[in-house]
Amino acid sequence: MTTEEPPKPEEKRKKPNGVARILTAILIFQVGIGAMLVLGDVQLGRLSLPGQGPDTPRLTEPVRPGDQRRTYRPERDRPPTQPARDPGQLPERLMLTQIEGATYRLEGAIAEGDGARVEKLLSETTPTPETLVLQSPGGSVQDALQLGRHLRDQGINTQMLAGEFCLSACPYVLVGGSERQIDDRAQVGVHQHYFGKSSILPASFAVEDIQAGQGEVMVYLDDMGIDPMVMTHALATPPDEIYVLLPEQLRAYGFVTEEE
Taking each helix axis from N to C end, the angle separating 114-124 and 141-154, rounded to the nearest 10 degrees, works out to 30
- Residue 36 CA, distance from chain mean position: 25
Determine, yes or no, domain membership for 62: no
Could you tell me the mean pLDDT of each successive run of 10 residues in the chain, 260 residues long?
48 50 58 50 44 76 95 89 85 97 98 97 97 97 97 98 96 98 97 60 49 80 94 92 98 87
Determine, yes or no, domain membership for 12: no
Determine, yes or no, domain membership for 73: no
Q: Which residues of 31-50 are buried (b: 16+ CB within 10 A; e: fewer)?
A: eebbeebeeeeeebeeeeee
pLDDT at 34: 53
pLDDT at 133: 98
Determine, yes or no, domain membership for 13: no
Determine, yes or no, domain membership for 169: yes
If DSSP codes are grouped into helix, strand and coil, which group holds residue 217?
A: helix
- Cα separation, 181 vs 162, in Å, equals 11
Report the chain's terminal Cα–Cα distance, integer Å.
71
Residue 186: give the domain boundaries. 18-41+90-252
- Cα separation, 260 vs 258, in Å, equals 6
Domain harbouring 184, CATH code: 3.90.226.10
Q: What is the number of alpha carbons within 13 Å of residue 211 lying toward its C-beta?
A: 14
Determine, yes or no, domain membership for 152: yes
pLDDT at 220: 95
Q: Are strands 165-167 and 180-182 parallel, antiparallel or unpaired?
A: unpaired
Determine, yes or no, domain membership for 23: yes
pLDDT at 24: 60
Nearest to 187 by CA among 55, 94, 70: 70
Determine, yes or no, domain membership for 98: yes
Count: domains in the chain: 1
